[in-house]
Amino acid sequence: MINSNDLVIVPADILDLKSMLAVEQASHQHPWSENMLAESLNGEHRCWVLKHKKQVIGHLIVLPVFDQVELLDIAVCPQQQGMGLGRLLMEHLIQFVKDNHIVSIFLEVRQSNKTAMKLYQNFDFEEIGVRKNYYPCKQGREDAVVMQFTL
């Protein structure tokens, strides 16, 4: 059980890269590479890590563009999934959006990722389209559901 007093969400930096990569690899069937994560830390992206007692157990990567944000990556260690930590990361993102006068968030999610879709729907994201054959999967490709949150 994780005590919420031991959790903190802070901007990610290069020292978090290896831990972010470990979370990424454990959480996704087609994870971002170390290079992709490093580029996000050094680019126009905004990156945060969720830490429990100084250990990275999740992260969130977005790309702000004018008055919109694209949610590029969200991950929580599999051992800590189902404890509301994805919700904490999404609450952090919504607060960032409000604080920065951003009007909408866009994301793509694997059509098969019902857990993530339910999380987004709980934050009032709406399905606005489908990108056919967007994600690689074990047997071919999988559609992405495009979702939007609007303040």
53 DSSP assignment: T
How open is the CA angle 4-1-107, to the nearest 5 degrees?
65
For 10, half-sphere exposure in the C-beta direction (CA atoms, 13 angstrom radius) is 15
Concerning whether 127 is annotated as a catalytic residue, the answer is: no
54: tokens are 């100084």
Catalytic residue status for 91: no
| Residue 75 assigned as binding residue | yes
Residue tagged active-site, from 120, 126, 127, 135: 120
From the candidates 24, 44, 91, 108, which is the catalytic residue?
108
Helix (H) or strand (E) holding 59: strand 55-65
Is 74 marked as a binding-site residue? yes
Query: Binding site residues, as ranges?
Result: 74-76, 113
Query: Binding site residues for acetyl-CoA, as ranges?
Result: 74-76, 113
**Residues known to be catalytic:** 108, 120
